[in-house]
Protein backbone atom coordinates (compact mmCIF):
# COMPACT_ATOMS: atom_id res chain seq x y z
CA UNK A 1 0.00 0.00 0.00
CA UNK A 2 1.40 3.38 -1.03
CA UNK A 3 2.31 5.88 1.67
CA UNK A 4 0.06 8.91 2.01
CA UNK A 5 2.01 12.17 1.62
CA UNK A 6 -0.24 14.07 4.01
CA UNK A 7 0.27 11.41 6.69
CA UNK A 8 4.04 11.46 6.12
CA UNK A 9 4.16 15.21 6.80
CA UNK A 10 1.59 14.95 9.60
CA UNK A 11 -0.78 17.50 8.06
CA UNK A 12 -4.42 17.73 7.07
CA UNK A 13 -5.47 17.42 3.42
CA UNK A 14 -6.70 21.01 3.56
CA UNK A 15 -3.34 22.32 4.82
CA UNK A 16 -2.17 25.62 3.38
CA UNK A 17 1.14 26.08 1.55
CA UNK A 18 2.58 27.71 4.68
CA UNK A 19 1.50 24.77 6.85
CA UNK A 20 3.04 22.29 4.41
CA UNK A 21 6.31 24.20 4.42
CA UNK A 22 6.35 24.44 8.22
CA UNK A 23 5.73 20.69 8.60
CA UNK A 24 8.51 19.82 6.17
CA UNK A 25 11.00 22.15 7.84
CA UNK A 26 10.31 20.56 11.21
CA UNK A 27 10.83 17.04 9.85
CA UNK A 28 13.86 18.05 7.76
CA UNK A 29 15.54 19.36 10.90
CA UNK A 30 14.85 16.06 12.63
CA UNK A 31 15.73 13.56 9.91
CA UNK A 32 18.36 15.31 7.81
CA UNK A 33 21.26 12.86 7.08
CA UNK A 34 23.78 15.13 8.81
CA UNK A 35 21.72 14.62 11.95
CA UNK A 36 21.07 10.90 11.65
CA UNK A 37 24.71 9.86 11.19
CA UNK A 38 24.21 7.30 8.40
CA UNK A 39 21.15 5.57 9.89
CA UNK A 40 19.64 3.93 6.77
CA UNK A 41 16.11 3.80 8.15
CA UNK A 42 16.17 7.49 9.03
CA UNK A 43 17.72 8.38 5.67
CA UNK A 44 14.81 6.58 4.00
CA UNK A 45 12.48 8.59 6.22
CA UNK A 46 14.10 11.81 4.99
CA UNK A 47 13.68 10.70 1.37
CA UNK A 48 9.99 10.05 2.01
CA UNK A 49 9.33 13.44 3.58
CA UNK A 50 11.27 15.15 0.78
CA UNK A 51 9.20 13.32 -1.81
CA UNK A 52 5.99 14.28 0.01
CA UNK A 53 7.07 17.92 0.12
CA UNK A 54 8.12 17.92 -3.54
CA UNK A 55 4.57 16.93 -4.50
CA UNK A 56 2.45 18.84 -1.98
CA UNK A 57 4.41 22.11 -2.30
CA UNK A 58 3.76 22.18 -6.05
CA UNK A 59 0.11 23.19 -6.77
CA UNK A 60 -0.09 21.24 -10.02
CA UNK A 61 1.47 18.06 -8.62
CA UNK A 62 -0.69 18.35 -5.50
CA UNK A 63 -3.83 18.64 -7.63
CA UNK A 64 -2.83 15.51 -9.57
CA UNK A 65 -2.12 13.67 -6.29
CA UNK A 66 -5.49 14.69 -4.81
CA UNK A 67 -7.23 13.67 -8.03
CA UNK A 68 -5.71 10.22 -8.51
CA UNK A 69 -4.93 9.19 -4.94
CA UNK A 70 -1.67 7.93 -3.51
CA UNK A 71 -1.33 4.53 -5.19
CA UNK A 72 -2.49 5.64 -8.63
CA UNK A 73 -0.37 8.81 -8.52
CA UNK A 74 2.82 6.84 -7.82
CA UNK A 75 2.02 4.48 -10.69
CA UNK A 76 1.49 7.38 -13.08
CA UNK A 77 4.47 9.54 -12.06
CA UNK A 78 8.10 8.48 -11.87
CA UNK A 79 10.66 9.85 -9.42
CA UNK A 80 11.93 12.10 -12.21
CA UNK A 81 8.40 13.49 -12.61
CA UNK A 82 8.00 14.00 -8.88
CA UNK A 83 11.29 15.84 -8.34
CA UNK A 84 11.20 17.86 -11.56
CA UNK A 85 11.68 21.60 -10.75
CA UNK A 86 12.36 20.67 -7.11
CA UNK A 87 15.76 22.06 -6.11
CA UNK A 88 16.80 20.39 -2.85
CA UNK A 89 19.83 22.66 -2.50
CA UNK A 90 17.85 25.90 -2.62
CA UNK A 91 15.11 24.55 -0.37
CA UNK A 92 17.44 23.31 2.35
CA UNK A 93 19.44 26.54 2.16
CA UNK A 94 16.19 28.42 2.75
CA UNK A 95 15.65 26.30 5.85
CA UNK A 96 19.12 27.19 7.18
CA UNK A 97 21.15 24.30 5.76
CA UNK A 98 23.39 26.36 3.46
CA UNK A 99 27.16 26.65 3.19
CA UNK A 100 29.78 24.05 2.67
CA UNK A 101 31.22 23.94 6.17
CA UNK A 102 30.12 24.62 9.71
CA UNK A 103 27.45 27.34 10.15
CA UNK A 104 24.43 26.04 8.20
CA UNK A 105 23.83 22.59 9.67
CA UNK A 106 25.97 23.15 12.71
CA UNK A 107 23.85 26.05 13.97
CA UNK A 108 20.61 24.41 12.87
CA UNK A 109 21.36 21.31 14.96
CA UNK A 110 23.09 23.13 17.81
CA UNK A 111 26.59 21.85 17.06
CA UNK A 112 28.36 25.10 17.81
CA UNK A 113 31.61 25.55 15.94
CA UNK A 114 32.09 21.91 14.88
CA UNK A 115 33.78 22.07 11.47
CA UNK A 116 32.62 19.48 8.95
CA UNK A 117 30.90 19.35 5.61
CA UNK A 118 27.21 20.01 5.96
CA UNK A 119 26.22 17.51 3.41
CA UNK A 120 25.13 18.88 0.05
CA UNK A 121 28.21 17.84 -1.92
CA UNK A 122 30.14 15.85 0.67
CA UNK A 123 27.42 13.71 2.24
CA UNK A 124 27.16 10.37 0.38
CA UNK A 125 23.43 10.42 0.99
CA UNK A 126 22.99 13.45 -1.23
CA UNK A 127 25.32 12.01 -3.84
CA UNK A 128 23.08 8.96 -3.99
CA UNK A 129 20.02 11.16 -4.37
CA UNK A 130 21.51 13.14 -7.20
CA UNK A 131 23.37 15.56 -4.94
CA UNK A 132 24.19 19.24 -4.75
CA UNK A 133 22.29 20.91 -7.56
CA UNK A 134 18.84 19.97 -6.40
CA UNK A 135 18.76 16.26 -7.29
CA UNK A 136 20.71 17.74 -10.03
CA UNK A 137 24.22 17.31 -11.37
CA UNK A 138 24.03 13.62 -12.23
CA UNK A 139 20.39 13.89 -13.27
CA UNK A 140 21.18 16.94 -15.38
CA UNK A 141 23.96 15.05 -17.14
CA UNK A 142 21.46 12.30 -17.97
CA UNK A 143 18.58 14.55 -18.87
CA UNK A 144 15.35 12.72 -19.55
CA UNK A 145 13.77 12.98 -23.00
CA UNK A 146 10.65 15.07 -23.45
CA UNK A 147 7.24 13.67 -22.59
CA UNK A 148 4.76 13.60 -25.43
CA UNK A 149 0.98 13.33 -25.57
CA UNK A 150 -1.09 11.34 -28.04
CA UNK A 151 -4.84 11.86 -28.35
CA UNK A 152 -6.93 8.88 -29.42
CA UNK A 153 -10.53 9.18 -30.68
CA UNK A 154 -12.74 6.76 -28.73
CA UNK A 155 -16.38 5.82 -29.15
CA UNK A 156 -18.64 5.63 -26.13
CA UNK A 157 -18.63 1.83 -26.36
CA UNK A 158 -14.81 1.75 -26.31
CA UNK A 159 -14.73 4.06 -23.28
CA UNK A 160 -17.28 1.95 -21.40
CA UNK A 161 -15.74 -1.45 -22.14
CA UNK A 162 -12.06 -0.60 -22.67
CA UNK A 163 -10.25 -1.54 -25.88
CA UNK A 164 -6.90 -1.98 -27.58
CA UNK A 165 -5.50 0.44 -30.13
CA UNK A 166 -2.42 0.27 -32.31
CA UNK A 167 -0.68 3.61 -32.72
CA UNK A 168 2.51 4.71 -34.42
CA UNK A 169 5.09 6.73 -32.52
CA UNK A 170 8.37 8.25 -33.66
CA UNK A 171 11.42 7.66 -31.48
CA UNK A 172 14.81 8.85 -32.66
CA UNK A 173 13.61 9.15 -36.24
CA UNK A 174 12.26 5.59 -36.27
CA UNK A 175 8.54 4.90 -36.61
CA UNK A 176 7.29 2.24 -34.20
CA UNK A 177 3.86 0.63 -34.03
CA UNK A 178 2.79 -0.15 -30.47
CA UNK A 179 -0.38 -1.63 -29.03
CA UNK A 180 -2.01 0.39 -26.30
CA UNK A 181 -4.46 -1.09 -23.81
CA UNK A 182 -7.18 1.50 -23.14
CA UNK A 183 -8.80 0.95 -19.74
CA UNK A 184 -12.51 1.47 -19.28
CA UNK A 185 -13.46 4.97 -18.14
CA UNK A 186 -10.75 6.88 -20.03
CA UNK A 187 -12.88 10.02 -20.42
CA UNK A 188 -11.77 13.49 -21.50
CA UNK A 189 -9.19 15.02 -19.15
CA UNK A 190 -7.80 11.66 -18.01
CA UNK A 191 -4.70 10.01 -19.37
CA UNK A 192 -2.55 6.92 -19.08
CA UNK A 193 1.25 6.86 -19.01
CA UNK A 194 3.53 4.62 -21.05
CA UNK A 195 6.97 4.90 -19.49
CA UNK A 196 9.90 5.33 -21.86
CA UNK A 197 7.77 5.76 -24.99
CA UNK A 198 8.34 9.51 -25.30
CA UNK A 199 11.16 11.36 -27.02
CA UNK A 200 14.72 10.03 -26.88
CA UNK A 201 17.03 11.96 -24.53
CA UNK A 202 19.64 14.06 -26.38
CA UNK A 203 22.11 13.49 -23.51
CA UNK A 204 22.02 9.72 -23.11
CA UNK A 205 19.43 9.74 -20.36
CA UNK A 206 16.16 7.81 -20.24
CA UNK A 207 13.47 8.43 -22.83
CA UNK A 208 10.47 10.54 -21.88
CA UNK A 209 7.01 9.19 -21.25
CA UNK A 210 4.07 8.90 -23.62
CA UNK A 211 0.73 10.08 -22.27
CA UNK A 212 -2.40 8.76 -23.96
CA UNK A 213 -5.43 11.05 -23.80
CA UNK A 214 -9.01 10.35 -24.82
CA UNK A 215 -10.96 12.29 -27.42
CA UNK A 216 -14.53 10.98 -26.89
CA UNK A 217 -16.66 10.78 -30.02
CA UNK A 218 -20.39 11.40 -29.62
CA UNK A 219 -22.28 8.71 -31.54
CA UNK A 220 -25.64 6.93 -31.73
CA UNK A 221 -27.34 9.97 -30.22
CA UNK A 222 -25.19 9.86 -27.07
CA UNK A 223 -23.24 12.84 -25.78
CA UNK A 224 -20.49 12.36 -23.17
CA UNK A 225 -20.09 14.78 -20.25
CA UNK A 226 -17.43 13.46 -17.87
CA UNK A 227 -18.71 10.07 -16.74
CA UNK A 228 -22.33 10.99 -17.46
CA UNK A 229 -24.04 10.34 -20.78
CA UNK A 230 -26.86 12.36 -22.38
CA UNK A 231 -29.33 10.78 -24.80
CA UNK A 232 -31.90 12.82 -26.73
CA UNK A 233 -35.29 11.12 -27.07
CA UNK A 234 -38.10 12.34 -29.26
CA UNK A 235 -41.68 12.13 -27.90
CA UNK A 236 -44.96 13.29 -29.38
CA UNK A 237 -46.87 16.23 -27.93
CA UNK A 238 -49.62 13.91 -26.70
CA UNK A 239 -47.06 11.70 -24.91
CA UNK A 240 -45.66 14.72 -23.07
CA UNK A 241 -49.13 16.01 -22.17
CA UNK A 242 -50.72 12.72 -21.13
CA UNK A 243 -47.64 10.75 -20.04
CA UNK A 244 -46.37 7.51 -21.51
CA UNK A 245 -43.76 4.77 -21.17
CA UNK A 246 -40.95 4.77 -23.72
CA UNK A 247 -38.09 2.37 -24.39
CA UNK A 248 -34.56 3.66 -23.89
CA UNK A 249 -31.42 1.84 -25.00
CA UNK A 250 -28.55 2.52 -22.57
CA UNK A 251 -24.94 2.88 -23.83
CA UNK A 252 -24.13 -0.66 -22.71
CA UNK A 253 -26.99 -2.04 -24.82
CA UNK A 254 -29.58 -2.57 -22.07
CA UNK A 255 -33.21 -1.80 -22.97
CA UNK A 256 -35.05 0.06 -20.19
CA UNK A 257 -38.69 1.15 -19.98
CA UNK A 258 -38.74 4.80 -18.90
CA UNK A 259 -41.92 6.42 -17.61
CA UNK A 260 -42.53 9.92 -18.97
CA UNK A 261 -44.79 11.73 -16.48
CA UNK A 262 -47.83 13.65 -17.73
CA UNK A 263 -47.00 17.31 -18.29
CA UNK A 264 -43.32 16.76 -19.09
CA UNK A 265 -41.66 19.89 -20.47
CA UNK A 266 -39.51 20.18 -23.58
CA UNK A 267 -35.79 19.57 -22.81
CA UNK A 268 -36.57 17.93 -19.45
CA UNK A 269 -33.80 15.61 -18.20
CA UNK A 270 -34.70 12.25 -16.74
CA UNK A 271 -31.97 10.44 -14.82
CA UNK A 272 -31.25 6.74 -15.02
CA UNK A 273 -28.61 6.07 -12.29
CA UNK A 274 -25.45 4.06 -12.92
CA UNK A 275 -25.95 3.60 -16.65
CA UNK A 276 -23.26 6.06 -17.73
CA UNK A 277 -19.51 5.52 -18.02
CA UNK A 278 -17.65 3.55 -15.33
CA UNK A 279 -14.94 5.27 -13.32
CA UNK A 280 -11.41 4.62 -14.53
CA UNK A 281 -10.48 3.50 -11.02
CA UNK A 282 -12.92 1.99 -8.55
CA UNK A 283 -16.46 0.66 -8.85
CA UNK A 284 -18.36 3.90 -9.40
CA UNK A 285 -20.28 4.75 -12.55
CA UNK A 286 -21.81 7.86 -14.05
CA UNK A 287 -25.49 8.28 -14.91
CA UNK A 288 -27.55 8.33 -18.10
CA UNK A 289 -29.70 11.42 -18.62
CA UNK A 290 -32.53 11.17 -21.13
CA UNK A 291 -33.30 14.57 -22.64
CA UNK A 292 -36.94 14.78 -23.73
CA UNK A 293 -37.48 16.56 -27.03
CA UNK A 294 -41.15 17.20 -27.82
CA UNK A 295 -41.88 16.92 -31.51
CA UNK A 296 -44.14 19.68 -32.86
CA UNK A 297 -45.63 18.82 -36.27
CA UNK A 298 -45.06 21.40 -38.98
CA UNK A 299 -48.33 20.56 -40.73
CA UNK A 300 -51.72 19.45 -39.32
CA UNK A 301 -54.56 17.57 -40.91
CA UNK A 302 -57.98 19.21 -40.96
CA UNK A 303 -59.13 16.86 -38.22
CA UNK A 304 -56.11 17.74 -36.02
CA UNK A 305 -56.74 21.46 -36.55
CA UNK A 306 -60.37 21.13 -35.43
CA UNK A 307 -59.37 19.16 -32.33
CA UNK A 308 -56.71 21.70 -31.36
CA UNK A 309 -59.19 24.54 -31.90
CA UNK A 310 -61.55 22.77 -29.53
CA UNK A 311 -58.71 22.43 -26.99
CA UNK A 312 -57.97 26.13 -27.39
CA UNK A 313 -61.57 26.92 -26.37
CA UNK A 314 -61.01 24.98 -23.12
CA UNK A 315 -58.11 27.27 -22.24
CA UNK A 316 -55.39 24.72 -22.97
In this chain, the answer to whether the domains covering 5-141 and 222-313 adopt an identical fold is: no
Could you tell me the residue ranges of all domains in the chain?
A: 5-141, 148-217, 222-313
CB contact at 8 A, 264 and 207: no
Q: Give CATH superfamily name and number for 5-141.
A: DnaJ domain (1.10.287.110)
> What is the per-residue pLDDT for 160?
93
Give the length of the chain.
Answer: 316
Report the percentage of the chain scoring pLDDT > 90: 50
Between CA 167 and CA 175, with CA 171 as vertex, the angle to 5 degrees is: 50
Mean pLDDT across 18-39:
84
Q: What is the DSSP letter of 117?
A: B
Q: What is the DSSP letter of 287?
A: -
* Closest alpha carbon to 258 in 272, 269, 273: 272
How many CA atoms does the CB half-sphere of 163 hold within 13 Å? 14
pTM of the model: 0.54
Q: Is the pLDDT of residue 113 over 50?
A: no
pLDDT tens by residue, 251-291: 988 999 999 999 999 999 999 999 999 998 877 899 999 99
CATH number for region 148-217: 2.60.260.20
> What is the per-residue pLDDT for 109?
33
Backbone angles phi, psi at 7, to 5 degrees: -65, -40
- Per the DSSP assignment, residues forming a β-bridge with 94 are none
CB contact at 8 A, 118 and 102: yes
Q: Give buried/exposed letters for 209-242 (b at 16+ CB in 10 A, else e).
A: bbbbebebeeeeebebeebbbbbebebeeebbee
Q: Is 35 or 232 the better-scoring residue by pLDDT?
A: 232
> What is the per-residue pLDDT for 100?
37
CATH number for domain 222-313, candidates 2.60.260.20, 3.10.450.50, 3.40.50.300, 3.40.50.720: 2.60.260.20
pLDDT tens by residue, 19-29: 999 999 899 88
Q: Is the pLDDT of residue 61 over 80?
A: yes
Amino acid sequence: MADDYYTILGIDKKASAAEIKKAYRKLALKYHPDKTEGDKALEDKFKKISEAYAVLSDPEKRNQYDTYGSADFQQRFSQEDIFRNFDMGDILKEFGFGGSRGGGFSSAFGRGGQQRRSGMGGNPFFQNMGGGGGFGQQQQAQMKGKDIEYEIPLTIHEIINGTKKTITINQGGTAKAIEVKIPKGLTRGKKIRLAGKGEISPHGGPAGNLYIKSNPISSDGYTIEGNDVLLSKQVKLTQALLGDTIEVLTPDGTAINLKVPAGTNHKSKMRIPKHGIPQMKGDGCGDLFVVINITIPKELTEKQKKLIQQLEKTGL
